[in-house]
Structure 1
Amino acid sequence: MSLNLSNFSHHRLNDENTKHFKHLFYALIIGLIVGLVGGFFRIILSYIESFRDILYHHAGHSGFMSWLWPILFAIIGISIALFLVRRYAPEASGSGVQEIEGALDGLRPMRWKRVLPIKFIASLFSLGSGLLLGREGPTIQLGANIGQMVKDTLGLSDIEKNSLVSAGAAAGLASAFNAPFAGIIFVIEEMHGHFKFNFYSLASIMIGAGTSDFIVRMMVGSKPIIQMTVFPSPNIYGLWLFICLGLLCSIVGLFYNKLLILSLDFFQFSSKLPVIYTGIFVGVIIAIIGIFSPDMIGGGYNTIAKVLDHSFTLSFLLFLFAARMLLSLFSYSFGVPGGIFLPMLTLGVILGMLFGVSMQHFFPQLISNPGVYTIAGMAGIFAATVRAPLTGLVLAVEMTSNYELILPLIITTVTASVLTSFLGNKPIYSTLLKRTLANAKQKNKFEE
């Protein structure tokens, strides 16, 4: 009798091990696919953005048409993105992170057959047009839907959906920024209410993020996304300045979240207008601003590089911060696909440089290089807006390779996220999910 029980336990253990091994292998497959998709997305987008930069550079140099081409380019890109999303996959609009959180809770559909092609193609048009949006939203949603695709294609049980979709989301963020650890932390921290945590689900997101990052690095290179000075640890007696920066980031994060929802509500009428009208309205504004000041548009990589090179005066940095904040809200409010990570990180760099240069004037003995505060600003604004301090910290470190700044980043992100919480600020993706669910409920009532 005892021998039979022993054999039964042994077989059961082997079955469990086989099941877990298969699950981890599926996570590896998801990471491979997400890495390939994310790598191709980044390569194609870089060509589109290079072409756009050429159009803006030559604007006004060879007659009327040289002015017209950048405007037409923006109008066509935005119009095509809007048409594809509205016609075929409304859930592909915006960032997509809130859609994943809703899907993990069973509140939103994951129609990967529609979302994968539409999100990929429409995002290339929207991001390429010059709107102030990031590629991380699209890659996160693409990754999560690839996780759902693998689950459905292999006929796996619904029990495995959560960790496979989460592994895809982590892989998607890793592929956007060469930041696998940030992808892992993002799922654990931001999606903690939706992600079903256990040892093997954690291993799944680690395998997915790591594999995706490896593939993308093979395709586009291993350099940090933001190439800048690697700073030594700042003066320990000046660490209190990072508390001050965190306080400032908390207020900015509060205003950003409030204004984003107000902007979405204000421009909601545009969803009832013909696509071309919205495309012309948004495209003309973005293109004209881009022609006269290219630093005001786009995701922000070029702007970040110039800020780090001290290419702007303090007064222009202040204007640049205000303008890019308003334009990022404007860009997100019309339902085109695109993320808010990168625009927020760009604002953080600008705010950090403003703070660092200003404080260096008063405390020169404590600040050897104001650029240190640009990294803290990135992490701080992200922490205040998303209410995910760990993700903000890790993302800033991985994107810049400034591992010596972990202590000041901890100070900044904790201060920013705690104070903004005390001020009543809600995590932006939770707010966006509630808004999406409310709009869907209202639409269903109207159709009935």
Structure 2
Amino acid sequence: MPSSADAPDRVSAVADRAARVVGRHQVGLVVLALAVGTGAGLGAVAFRYLIEGFTKVFSGHTDYSDAGRAAHHLVPALGPWFVLLAPVVAGLVYGPLVHRFAPEARGHGVPEVMFAVARNGGRIRPRVALVKSLASALCIGGGGSVGREGPIVQIGSALGSSIAQALRLDERHIRLLVACGAAGGIAATFNAPLAGVFFSMELILGVWAAESFGMVVLSSVTASVIARGILGDEPFLRLPAFHVDHLTQYPLFAVLGLLAGLLGVGFSRVLYAVEDVCDWAWRGPEWLRPAVGGLLLGVVLLVLPQMYGVGYPVLDKAVGGGYGIAFLCVLLVGKMLACSLTIGIGGSGGVFAPSLFVGAMLGAAFGAVVHAIDPSQAGSPGAYALVGMGALFAGAARAPITAVVILFELTGEYSIILPLMLAIVLATGVSHLVSHDTVYTRKLLRRGIDLDEPGDDRLRRTTVADVMTAPPSPMLETTTLHEAAARFAATAEPALPVVSDDGHLVGIIAAHELMDALASGTTVRIVELTGSSASVEADLPVGDALVMLEHGIEVLGVVADGVLIGWVGHREIIGVFA
């Protein structure tokens, strides 16, 4: 009879067998995508119930943002002043929880998932799912003016990563299951399966492949079906019917798109500026920061209770034309401040929903102004609010496809597509012009991590001189094609340097280029087959050299005053990570 000591070996054997099945058979990956989607859907439902439960505990209402300064039924003597204490009490609970068990659960979550996929092989600690769900539910329930999507992305991604790691899958499959978890979380949270797919592909994976797309779709659909079965088939927002009354509205939507793009970048700047101020001002232990900072958040909520929690009822009312222009502007500024303060004091929650909120306020105010100037041509202010939602998110996150799809799913109106695409493209374009980063990538850039670069800090710190090897013996530029072929036949190098009579590097010739020339029967000189762009200086960062190698160049010659002194290829750069 096998002993208990053999249990780890049996578990290891099962995991190895599962990894082989997934690697060889598509059906295994399909099963895992369905499992992750199921877990993400159930997690999104549980997370929503957690938020509602904690909101009821801390405020006495299912959603306090539209309660109108009502008192808590358990402490009626305090009246609306209880909101000063709600964020403080919540912070006393989730602050130590995050600090002790999962510091990466602090903040809005999506940048951590993007980093895990791009730089850490998709590996996320399993405990993050539990800590993030509790911390974010406490934060939002206690008045934190943040969204649900960031936490559920991190929760679903942690689930997918944990399953993949337990089965000892390779990094490619770990990343894929992380994306499946993120898609399932978004789909179940917003009742928007298409948006879940495109959010995951556009922001989390960042690449489009048939296999990845198919698995992410399976996970998203599964999560959405489960959430709809439990929560119903109602959209998370009840939006008005959308229609374009006059062609003259299209230039107005274009102007709104430009404004939304600029404000999206501004929202990102305000978010991190407030976080910097909080970092500068706080000198105590990190676990206590959410509670002490919660008092400041409570002041904001006392003045503007519409900022309590996610604020979907307020967003719904604004889109329906329930507020005047001045108050829409107050809500816009208030949301930016309240969301930034919630993140700055160490809160946990997303910025997707707040960006939709801010965009809706901008669009509704813009539409109201246009309507006041020329009611006959302006159309419904609600139409501008809907377009503003998508355009501002596109400007802040630079995810135009996700922005178009989620607004289309929320409205179910095909007529939204043209004005929405126009505004979103312009918002994304102006965002690119004025900012290198997005609301998600800026958090990583502040840590010295640029996801657009081909590596991490080591690639920027290391120079070509640190990794180069001695170059192979060069060929003179007068060497004939057949002499060059003989040289290649005697070496394993994929490319060889070509120098002038005085020893200066002329270029580098690749074996396949020589083969093509010989096969075509050309009589060109060998120097005409070389590429002068394949030479670099010794002080060039390795990351820049890697970019050149990824653009079709076989190998790089390292020169000093034009003279060849070193040789760098993919093999040498891989050594940086050894």
TM-score tier, shorter chain, comes to: 0.7 to 0.9
Cα drift, residue 411 of structure 1: 0.5
Write the deviation string for residues 145-180 of structure 1: whole angstroms up to 9, x where unpaired: 111111123333333112111111111111221111
Task: List per-residue Cα deviations over 1:84-106 (Å, max 9, x = no partner).
Answer: 11111111111111111111123
Which structure 2 segments of 5+ residues have no match? 1-20, 62-68, 451-455, 458-578
1:6-61 CA distance string (max 9 Å, x none): xxxxxxxxx89961111111101100011001111112212332444436521599
1:26 to 13, 24, 32: 32
Give 2:89's aligned amino acid: I
Residue in 2 that maps onto 1:382: 393
Task: For 1:346 and 1:16, locate their aligned partners in 2 and report how far apart those are by CA, in whole Å.
Answer: 42
Question: Could you tell me how far 1:236 is from its partner in structure 2?
Answer: 2.3
- Give the whole-Å Cα distance in 2 for the aligned partners of 1:20 and 1:319: 53
Distance 1:280 1:120 in 2: 18
1:3-18 correspondence runs (5 A):
none
The number of aligned residues is 425
Q: Structure 1 CA distance, aligned partners of 2:76 and 2:59?
A: 18
Aligned mate of 1:208, from 206, 219, 236: 219
Identify unmatched segments of 5+ residues in structure 1.
1-14, 442-448
Please show how residues 227-242 of structure 1 align to structure 2 within 5 Å: 227-242=238-253
SS in 2 for 1:206: helix
Retained in 2: the 8 A contact 1:289–1:297? no
Residue 294, structure 1, aligned to residue 305, structure 2: yes
Partners of 1:115 and 1:62 in 2: CA distance: 34
Letter in 2 for 1:401: G
Is the 1:31–1:210 contact (alpha carbons within 8 Å) kept by the matching residues of 2? yes
Deviations 1:112-156, CA, capped at 9 Å, x for gaps = 332011111111111111111101000001111111111123333
Shift of 1:232: 2.8
Counterpart among 264, 271, 295 of residue 260 in structure 1: 271
The one-letter code sitting in structure 2 at the alignment partner of 1:25 is V
- Give the distance between the partners of 1:31 and 1:221, measured in 2 at CA: 17
Distance in 2 separating the partners of 1:101 and 1:283: 28
Relative distance call for 1:234 and 1:21 in structure 2 (3 A) is farther
Q: More deviation in 305-314 or 103-112?
A: 103-112
Q: Which amino acid aligns with 1:138?
A: P
Give 3-state SS (helix, strand or coil) of 1:336's partner: coil
* Equivalent residue, structure 1, for 2:108: 95
* One-letter identity of the residue aligned with 2:181: G
Q: Does 1:187 align with 2:187?
A: no
Q: Residue in 1 aligned with 2:91?
A: 78
Structure 2 SS opposite 1:416: helix
Aligned ranges for residues 392-411 of structure 1 at < 5 Å?
392-411=403-422
Is the alpha carbon distance of 1:316 and 1:22 closer, same or farther for their aligned partners in structure 2, counting shifts above 3 Å? same
Higher share in strand? 2
For 1:233 and 1:109, locate their aligned partners in 2 and report how far apart those are by CA, in whole Å.
43
For 1:115-154, list aligned pairs within 5 A: 115-154=128-167
**Which of 44, 50, 55 is matched with 1:38 structurally?**
44
Tell me by how many angstroms 1:109 deviates: 7.6
Task: Give the distance between the partners of 1:164 and 1:276, measured in 2 at CA.
Answer: 32
Q: Which amino acid aligns with 1:119?
A: K
Contact map agreement 2:239 2:319 (CA 8 A) in 1: yes
Residue 542 of structure 2: aligned partner? none
- Shifted more, 346-355 versus 61-70: the winner is 61-70
User: Please, which moves more after superposition, 147-156 or 411-420?
Assistant: 147-156
- 1:165 equivalent in structure 2: 178
SS at 1:236's partner residue?
Answer: coil
C-alpha displacement of 1:296 = 2.8
Answer yes or no: is the 8 Å Cα contact 1:74–1:284 preserved in 2: yes
Q: What is the alpha-carbon distance in structure 2 between the residues aligned to residue 237 and residue 24 of structure 1?
A: 48
Please tell me whether the aligned partners of residues 226 and 301 of structure 1 are also in contact (alpha carbons under 8 angstroms): yes
**Residue of structure 2 in register with 1:433 after alignment:** 444
Cross-structure match for 1:304:
315
Higher relative contact order, structure no. (Cα contacts within 8 Å, ≥ 6 residues apart):
1
**2:59–2:83 CA contact under 8 A, matched in 1:** no
Could you tell me how far apart the structure 1 residues matched to 2:125 and 2:286 are? 24
1:416 match? 427
Identify the residue that residue 378 of structure 2 maps to in structure 1: 367
Distance (whole Å) between structure 2 residues aligned to residue 271 and residue 218 of structure 1: 45
C-alpha distance in 2 between matches for 1:407 and 1:21: 39
The aligned residue for residue 316 of structure 1 is 327
| TM-score using structure 2 length | 0.69
Any conservation in 2 of the 1:99–1:108 contact (CA below 8 Å)?
no
Q: 1:273 to 1:352 in 2, by over 3 A?
A: same
SS in 2 for 1:30: helix
**CA displacement 1:325-378 (0-9 Å, x = unmatched):** 122111111232110001110111111100001011223222231100111000
CA-CA distance at 1:264 after TM superposition: 2.1
Partners of 2:24 and 2:291 lie apart in 1 by: 56
Q: Per-residue displacement from partner, 1:264-287 (whole Å, max 9, x unpaired)? A: 222224665235753343322333
How far is 1:228 from its partner? 2.2
Cα RMSD, aligned residues only: 2.6
Q: Which residue number corresponds to residue 296 of structure 2? A: 285
**Structure 2 CA distance, aligned partners of 1:164 and 1:320?**
38
SS at match of 1:371: helix
Kindly provide the CA deviation profile for residues 193-247 of structure 1, in whole angstroms up to 9, marking residues without a partner as x: 4x4x422111111111111111111111111111022223442232111101011
CA distance in 2, matches of 1:416, 1:362: 24
Are residues 369 and 68 of structure 1, via their aligned partners in 2, closer, same or farther at CA, if it must alter by over 3 Å? closer
How far apart, CA to CA, are the structure 1 residues paired with 2:80 and 2:267? 33
1: CA distance, partners of 2:53 / 2:226:
20
Task: Report which of the two structures shows the higher radius of gyration computed on alpha carbons.
Answer: 2
Mapped contact 1:27–1:164 kept (Cα < 8 A): yes
Shift of the 202–108 alpha-carbon distance from structure 1 to 2, 3 Å rule, reads closer
TM-score by structure 1 length?
0.88
How far apart are the structure 2 equivalents of 1:48 and 1:133?
14
SS of match in other structure, 1:118: helix
- Aligned twin of 1:9: none
- Whether the aligned pair in 1 keeps the contact of 2:108 and 2:150 (CA below 8 Å) is yes
Name the stretch that deviates more: 199-208 or 61-70.
61-70
